[in-house]
Structure 1
Amino acid sequence: MHRTLLTSALALAAATGAAQAEMVFNRIASFPVASNMDEGEDRTRETSSEIIDVTADGMTLVYTDSPLGVLGRIDITDPASPQPLGNIALDGEPTSVAIVGNVAFTGINTSESYTAPSGRLAAIDVTSGEELASCDLGGQPDSVAKAPDGAFIAVAIENERDEDLNDGAIPQMPAGFLVKIALTDGALDCDSLQKIELTGLAEVAGDDPEPEFVDINALGEIVVTMQENNHIAVIDADGTVSAHFSAGAVDLEGIDTTDERGALLFTESQSGVKREPDAVKWIDDQHFATANEGDYEGGSRGWTIFSKTGEVVYESGTSFEQALIQIGHYPDKRSDAKGVEPESVTFGQFGGTPMIFIGSERGSVVGVYDATDPANPRLTQLLPSGVGPEGYVTIPERSLLVSANETDLGADGGARAHVMLFQYAEGEAMYPQLTSEGMDELTGWGAISGMAAEDESTVWAVSDSFYGYQPRIFRIDVSTKPARITQAIDITRAGHIAQKLDLEGIALDGQGGFWLASEGRTDQLIPHALYHVNAEGEIKEEVSLPAELVAVEKRFGFEGITLVNGTLWMAVQREWGDDEKGQVKLLSYTPESGEWGAVRYPLDAPTTGWVGLSEITAHGDHVYIVERDNLLGEAAATKKIYRVALTEMQPAALGGDLPLVSKEEVRDLLPDLKANGGYVLDKVEGLAIFGDGTAWVSTDNDGVDDHSGETMFFTIGQVGTGY
């Protein structure tokens, strides 16, 4: 079953030659929304891009930014180079936006409390930022939708619950409702405001409906989801509820429901899980699709197509989640009941093909489905998004898909909120670059760290301490596109899964086994150590540090290991207690004699943050070393491969003077890290070099924990040959 989830996307990626070229989406640009702040503003403040729409000419994007209380604008005249147009300040919190012509109709929450909700609908000129009109909504707005013909606006008045009151249990008054407001010559007609009651419909807390998301079809019919109530209603053009029904429930098999276990074990099941849909989108006048996030008691991890009378036409079950698992985007430490948490859905016709786009909030992926047959939509691509995709807009006339990614991790040194643009064009899919699709069992992976090459097509890799209860060695076939994980070997000790490992390096021992380097964290009782394992992953030998190193050790230990003429070399990531600032050790260990030694390595000076080592790999007459800073996005400065001649790798005894080696720059990786249209990822941690000099590079996705989950796995050609 798991082998065919991404066959279409993988076939597209594998196509070669003009005769086989097909139409695919690829990301062409990422826009950090903090850049919309004016000169002199504090750009370290939290910002967010949530719901997004586009002007009628397709040239200006507008998104809601709740933390700043603004509408942000982006010029996409050149979609590959989006430019900031600044923010429009609002008197309140924007919740949603829908654009008709050049006017942004924006829901603004002005509530004093959960029990006294209030809000308004403002009409704002996108170019000037002028507020043209405003209608009092009588409650807290959530979703805003426009009629396809521009005749009216619909607003879901959620009057959301207080999740800290009675553990968030509903009902909590006042009840929500739906508002419909006519547009006269494109202008708001507040006198036409129609309040549509939704009480008494749902079986779950029917006296407290909490409408979440709305959309309008070409017939003027409104569909509205009531997420906490697990209910959906369809309203006729005259405001009459024509149909309403429970969103229903599903049974789930092969899922991981245990939070923060540090292992990807898809062996559990749940029955009767409520869908509790969030976003909803019409795909024609008879059908709509829902993203079943679940925010109360449900979360079926999938998405559904309904007829407007309530029949389930298609249910994804766990197939969408399993596809994300295979490309390393499963958020294990946040999985619990929601899994990859599909939250967003949109629709568009591209090249005559109806397409549904499903956004995973926790997996940070956009799934592209061919919906030619609504009863059997076909997953064709998975696109990497920023952290926490929330809103989407399609611009088919310009062959563009746009995602707004709400999560801002800047305060923790992580990625900022971004708007990302994808173009539909002839070519090969650039993502994913690594997958476990095709394995006999559903195999999750992530946090790829050290790597080693074996033959012309096999790379071995390890995952780091993020999966503390599932340390593994992965065999990767790089002869396919994308590269494929074909084997996962559990690392064991005395017949049990080994614990207290922080694997950051792997080297072949030449006898069918491996040497593994554990970075270590003594404050968490994880030792700095070397491990010799056999082909089955069983630890046969453990090598601890000598006293001279234990006395000066720090948290940032081994990052990579390689074998040269019977001697193991390990790169130490950052300075230890006896190192001069800006210099780190390359440690040697000879298994036959048990002798330790070291040389000193000069680091690049950081622009800010820190610079350290991430990998060491021997090839020919040199060892190749990955040197990187801890910065990402626009701040990233040092992501490089250097090499040191083996003639300089003459270790001296520990505790005395150590020789300082010289280094030669081989490649600046920043252009490679920008090549797929995303922001620069910080953790380049894997480097494998084949006998002919062909080098492969990988990034660590931190197990999708405060990370987009994106893994870059690519070749830079042959080192030292003028690529």
Structure 2
Amino acid sequence: MNMDRFHAALLTGGAIAISLAASAASAEPQHFQRLATYPVFLNLPDGVDPTTATTAQGVAASGDGMTLLYSDPARGGIGFVDIADPADPVGDGSLDVGGNPTEIAVGGAYAYVGVDTTGGPAAMAGHVAVIDVDSRVIVGNCAVLGQPNGVAISPGGGFLAVAVDNTVTGSGGLAPLGAGTVAIFTLSAGGTPTNCDAAVSVDLSGLAGFGPVEPVPGRIDINADDYAVVTLQRNNHVVLIDLAAAAVVRHFPAGTADLDAVDTVADGIIAGTGSLRDVRREPDGAGWLGRRLIVTANEGIDGGGSRGFTVFDTRGRARFDSGELMEHLAMSIGHYLEESAEAGGVTPENVTVARYGGDTLIFVSSATGNFVAAFTFDDRLRDALERGAHDDDDFDDDDGRPVRFRLGDTLRLVDVLPTAVGPEGMLAIPQRNLFVVATDVDDEGEGIRSTLSIHSRDARERTYPAIVSRRERSTGAPIGWGALSGAVADPHRRHILYVVNDSFYDASRIYTVNTRRTPARITGFVDLTLDGILKGYDLEGIAVHPDGGFWVVSEGRIERGRRNLLLRVAADGTVLEEIGLPTAYETNFSVRFGFEGVAAWGDKAIVAIQREWADDADDEVKLAVYDPATASWSFVRYPKDPPSSPRGGWVGLSEITAIGGDRFLIIERDNQPGIYATRKVVTEISLAGVEPGPLDEVMPEPSTLPLVEKTVIVDLLPLMRATNGWISDKPESLAVSADRRMLVITDNDGVDGAAGETLLFDLGSLADLM
């Protein structure tokens, strides 16, 4: 197999080829790069506690594209952000809208915000707040007789359409609390609704085969002919409305899809070994692809969700279905949240279509994967399918499945845009070559903040991902991976790394990574087994053993019955030996932050302990040395810096790597992500002339151990911040390649409560850095 590509064959028969290799530099910029990530809590008024919850849900832009407006349900208002310099967004205040804002749209001088003022199941209510963008004054509140959800303005500016939800409780069915509708407002030439007090309501009852009397409209989009498409996600239905006539002109079920080579069991292991049949698509986002084609993001909500996106024509025929593409993409780039395997998988929630220059781009967001995939759609296929939507030709398929249409590679992956946690709103600003993503998860206690990320289509090469995996022959799906926690270079092959994952997954693996090209490739792996049984360690470091195979460390947690272990592992993953610290010492003095990196020191192994144990002085940790010849442990002390983040936290060690002789590199970092981070450094120590000392198992005296000296040689923070994202707190892996280059990899925490980005930094020649 060509390691530079993996291919997903779509049910349409039009093959989609996703090349994750580095794109060739082009004369014209064709790729997006992230310019900034703005945490919206920075837009809180002066004097408000910065830990206050904020949420960026929907996002829109002023007519000139210089100001972003975002709905903030957590604060009950609309926020404004100045993006005159998109690389340096500046908070510009907020406006209370008197309820729970949902979606937002801007047309001309006005912003239109859905505001939910429901007081309970018996008092569903809401309106559209009409806001003068320049003066930031609410000039009108137009009732919609229910809970507003999606909001859209027609391209010509003549209509405002609002999907009016009903209240739904529980899961697995619909609650009979009133039928949803679509409210239509006619806009004056100036942009104000002419029927603010009398919205035209389009009844959606009786259309869907599932829950026909309880339609639940979600997102809405309008084409240039003033036709609206609205999804009924829970009803698995799509409705087309002529806004001028205020009438449903067509509706159709979203149908089902079959999937193969996907993960369907939340067992702690990412594996594309499952199949799904007749999965209801249950689309959430929808967008017009030209005048007569519609693309839906099939998120799922009540046990459905086909984990991809579909192109329908206006007759309701599925012309194109992505099949397993989004699932496989998430697996390959390390953004697959394994716990979602039994639910919606990659959960494609939203979709946006826009023209950038001469290209039609489709943007599909993954709610659980924290990324947006950007595809170009071949205009020749779009035009042909639009023509086919108006006549009875052989496109029609008797079984309702996506029909086959062969036109080469009609859909091409352009970019993967990584986001913070929970991408929700998306906004294309083609006139400025910008694309914006709003993320709505905000949990200050966990270091997660709601953000607006700004991307510009001005790069000639892809900037993300940094690591991808090849397809497994046994499954047909990419190798699943994430939570990379330690690395070592092959001493003889300059482009090969061996990388381990931590206990986020139930299988402990050593991955082989080829860094010869960008992005780097995971080309294979071995699972760790003991006596033939698959083991689930908490691997946090790896080193090449002088006699072949590896030293690997597993972090312990005594209160959970898990010991800190140094493992001798064969090249095939067989655990040859488990080596623990003296039991009495570990039981009495260890804490949850234990073994966190290992390096070979001649025939010995040296292990970094992440944080202070009960017998350590403040801001001192131990390096533990194991001598196989005597089966004994000895120790030295390492001086770490105290925490300096405004959020507090701690500073500890993440990795230790041998660089020859008695010299070692160590990653010293705080546990703070994003703008809270203050310390991520690589230090050098030398053990030349240092004699590690023993410790009494009962009454240790670490102060008698030798204290090593450290020198900071690389500050990783500027490099991490240069990616312009909500950075990880965990640079966890450091390797020095056979040609003496320093490589650092971040841990993405398995995309669980984390953005999910894995970054790989080639810091250059070790000699130059030293």
TM-score normalised to the size of structure 1? 0.96
Which of 730, 753, 764 is 1:683 aligned to?
Answer: 730
Question: What is the one-letter code of the residue matched to 1:176?
Answer: G
Question: What is the one-letter code of the residue matched to 2:675?
Answer: E
Question: What is the one-letter code of the residue matched to 2:581?
Answer: L
Which of 175, 179, 182 is 1:175 aligned to?
Answer: 179
Q: Tell me, in whole angstroms, the C-alpha distance in 1 between the residues paired with 2:484 and 2:331.
A: 14
Q: Are 1:187 and 2:192 counterparts?
A: yes
Q: Tell me, in whole angstroms, the C-alpha distance in 2 between the residues paired with 1:648 and 1:91.
A: 70
Worse-superposed segment, 472-481 or 438-447: 438-447
CA offsets, 1:57-113, max 9 Å, x none? 010111111111111111110111111111111100001110012311000000011
Question: What is the one-letter code of the residue matched to 2:165?
Answer: E
CA offsets, 1:176-196, max 9 Å, x none? 111000111211221552110
Q: Tell me, in whole angstroms, the C-alpha distance in 2 between the residues paired with 1:542 and 1:722.
A: 36
Match of 2:7 in 1: 4
Which of 214, 217, 230 is 1:208 aligned to?
Answer: 214
Which of 95, 102, 116 is 2:123 aligned to?
Answer: 116
Q: CA deviation at 1:9?
A: 4.5
Q: Would the aligned equivalents of 2:471 and 2:479 in 1 still touch at CA under 8 Å?
A: no
Which of 640, 644, 651 is 1:611 aligned to?
Answer: 651
Match of 1:462 in 2: 500
Match of 1:700 in 2: 747
SS of aligned partner of 2:552 = strand
Match of 2:303 in 1: 297
CA offsets, 1:382-418, max 9 Å, x none? 111111101111111111111011111213x232011
Match of 1:322 in 2: 328
Q: CA deviation at 1:679?
A: 2.0
Match of 1:420 in 2: 453
Question: What is the one-letter code of the residue matched to 1:512?
Answer: G
Question: What is the one-letter code of the residue matched to 2:313?
Answer: S
Q: CA deviation at 1:510?
A: 2.7
Q: Tell me, in whole angstroms, the C-alpha distance in 1 between the residues paired with 2:27 and 2:84.
A: 30
SS of aligned partner of 1:214 = strand
Match of 1:537 in 2: 573
Report 1:76-91 matches (<5 A).
Answer: 76-91=83-98
Q: Tell me, in whole angstroms, the C-alpha distance in 2 between the residues paired with 1:451 and 1:519.
A: 15
Cα pair distance change 1:452/1:132, threshold 3 Å: same
Q: Tell me, in whole angstroms, the C-alpha distance in 2 between the residues paired with 1:629 and 1:142.
A: 41
Question: What is the one-letter code of the residue matched to 1:602?
Answer: P
Q: Tell me, in whole angstroms, the C-alpha distance in 2 between the residues paired with 1:464 and 1:170.
A: 40
Match of 1:125 in 2: 132
Q: Tell me, in whole angstroms, the C-alpha distance in 1 between the residues paired with 2:229 and 2:18.
A: 31
Report 1:581-620 matches (<5 A).
Answer: 581-607=618-644, 608-620=648-660
Q: Tell me, in whole angstroms, the C-alpha distance in 1 between the residues paired with 2:32 and 2:128.
A: 34
Q: Are 1:719 and 2:723 counterparts?
A: no
Q: Tell me, in whole angstroms, the C-alpha distance in 1 between the residues paired with 2:20 and 2:411.
A: 17
Q: Tell me, in whole angstroms, the C-alpha distance in 2 between the residues paired with 1:297 and 1:563.
A: 50
Match of 1:377 in 2: 411
Q: Would the aligned equivalents of 2:726 and 2:755 in 1 still touch at CA under 8 Å?
A: no
Q: Would the aligned equivalents of 2:17 and 2:411 in 1 still touch at CA under 8 Å?
A: no
Q: Would the aligned equivalents of 1:302 and 1:317 in 2 still touch at CA under 8 Å?
A: yes
Q: Tell me, in whole angstroms, the C-alpha distance in 2 between the residues paired with 1:418 and 1:402.
A: 10
Match of 1:570 in 2: 607
CA offsets, 1:20-39, max 9 Å, x none? 77521111110001011011
Question: What is the one-letter code of the residue matched to 2:24?
Answer: A
CA offsets, 1:500-559, max 9 Å, x none? x11101011133311110111122222111111111100111111114344311110011
Q: Tell me, in whole angstroms, the C-alpha distance in 1 between the residues paired with 2:610 and 2:724.
A: 29
Match of 2:678 in 1: 637
Q: Tell me, in whole angstroms, the C-alpha distance in 1 between the residues paired with 2:731 and 2:303.
A: 39
Q: Tell me, in whole angstroms, the C-alpha distance in 1 between the residues paired with 2:50 and 2:131.
A: 24
Q: CA deviation at 1:654?
A: 1.8
Match of 1:558 in 2: 595
Cα pair distance change 1:507/1:649, threshold 3 Å: farther
Cα pair distance change 1:168/1:67, threshold 3 Å: farther
Match of 2:396 in 1: none
Match of 1:517 in 2: 553
Match of 2:74 in 1: 67
CA offsets, 1:153-195, max 9 Å, x none? 00000113122xxx56324121111100011121122155211
Q: Tell me, in whole angstroms, the C-alpha distance in 2 between the residues paired with 1:471 and 1:157.
A: 48
Q: Tell me, in whole angstroms, the C-alpha distance in 2 between the residues paired with 1:567 and 1:362.
A: 43
Which of 262, 275, 286 is 1:280 aligned to?
Answer: 286
Which of 356, 365, 370 is 1:359 aligned to?
Answer: 365
Q: Tell me, in whole angstroms, the C-alpha distance in 2 between the residues paired with 1:313 and 1:52.
A: 30
Match of 1:506 in 2: 542
Q: CA deviation at 1:257?
A: 2.1
Match of 1:238 in 2: 245
Q: Tell me, in whole angstroms, the C-alpha distance in 2 between the residues paired with 1:600 and 1:55.
A: 57
Q: Are 1:451 and 2:487 counterparts?
A: yes
Q: CA deviation at 1:46?
A: 1.6
Q: Are 1:393 and 2:427 counterparts?
A: yes
Q: Tell me, in whole angstroms, the C-alpha distance in 2 between the residues paired with 1:596 and 1:238.
A: 82
- Provide the aligned length of Structure 1 versus Structure 2: 713
SS of aligned partner of 1:215 = strand
Match of 1:666 in 2: 713
CA offsets, 1:260-308, max 9 Å, x none? x211122112211111110111111101111111112311111111111
Which of 237, 254, 262 is 2:261 aligned to?
Answer: 254
Question: What is the one-letter code of the residue matched to 1:538?
Answer: T
Question: What is the one-letter code of the residue matched to 2:136?
Answer: G
Match of 1:311 in 2: 317
Which of 521, 524, 530 is 1:484 aligned to?
Answer: 521
Worse-superposed segment, 619-628 or 642-651: 642-651
SS of aligned partner of 1:81 = coil
Cα pair distance change 1:679/1:61, threshold 3 Å: same
Which of 51, 54, 61 is 1:47 aligned to?
Answer: 54
Cα pair distance change 1:438/1:171, threshold 3 Å: closer
Q: CA deviation at 1:258?
A: 2.2
Q: Are 1:226 and 2:268 counterparts?
A: no
Question: Gaps (5+ residues) in structure 2?
Answer: 9-15, 383-404
Question: What is the one-letter code of the residue matched to 2:495?
Answer: S
SS of aligned partner of 1:4 = strand
Q: CA RMSD in A?
A: 1.7
Worse-superposed segment, 649-658 or 480-489: 649-658
CA offsets, 1:98-131, max 9 Å, x none? 0012311000000011232100011112233210
Question: What is the one-letter code of the residue matched to 2:529?
Answer: T
CA offsets, 1:628-666, max 9 Å, x none? 001111110010000101315431112342011110001
Q: Would the aligned equivalents of 1:227 and 1:294 in 2 still touch at CA under 8 Å?
A: yes
SS of aligned partner of 1:160 = coil
Question: Gaps (5+ residues) in structure 1?
Answer: none
Worse-superposed segment, 303-312 or 610-619: 303-312
SS of aligned partner of 1:44 = coil
Q: Tell me, in whole angstroms, the C-alpha distance in 1 between the residues paired with 2:309 and 2:320.
A: 8
SS of aligned partner of 1:473 = strand
Q: Tell me, in whole angstroms, the C-alpha distance in 2 between the residues paired with 1:7 and 1:199.
A: 41
Q: Would the aligned equivalents of 1:9 and 1:381 in 2 still touch at CA under 8 Å?
A: no
Identity of aligned residues (%): 40
SS of aligned partner of 2:328 = helix
Question: What is the one-letter code of the residue matched to 2:649?
Answer: G
Q: Tell me, in whole angstroms, the C-alpha distance in 1 between the residues paired with 2:116 and 2:480.
A: 40
